[in-house]
Amino acid sequence: MMKKATVKKSAMYTIDLTKIDGDGAFPCPKCGTVISPDDESEEAYQIVETKVKNDDLEELILTCKKCGTTIKLVGFLSQPET
Ligand SMILES: [Zn+2]
């Protein structure tokens, strides 16, 4: 299956939360700073954009404050609900 992502000149990393163990924290792909989506202090990152679908968070775009890399978080909706 071919799915081309639109790649802009400035690199944007995509993190799939379904592939992350634990509480969803992950190291910045570029500088290694640990970024936790649950960290609302936004000390390590800054939220650029949020996409919401049916009241659920679908996509989160944030910027690493340390190196300025743009990171897209996906996979919020994949958690199984009972
Ligand atoms: Zn970084």
The tens digit of pLDDT for each residue in 12-70 reads 999 998 898 888 899 999 999 999 877 778 889 999 999 998 898 899 999 999 999 99
Compute, in angstroms, the gap from residue 82 CA to the centroid of ligand 1: 35
Give the separation between CA 82 and CA 69, rounded to whole angstroms: 36
Strand partners, 71: 13, 62
Protein residues near ligand 1, an ion, with CB under 5 A: 28, 30-31, 33, 64, 66-67, 69
Compute, in angstroms, the gap from residue 34 CA to the centroid of ligand 1: 8
Between CA 64 and CA 9, with CA 44 as vertex, the angle to 5 degrees is 0
Report how far apart the first and last C-alpha atoms of the chain are (Å, whole number).
30
22, two tokens: 């634990």
Compute, in angstroms, the gap from residue 55 CA to the centroid of ligand 1: 29
pLDDT one-digit tens code per residue, 31-47: 999 998 777 788 899 99
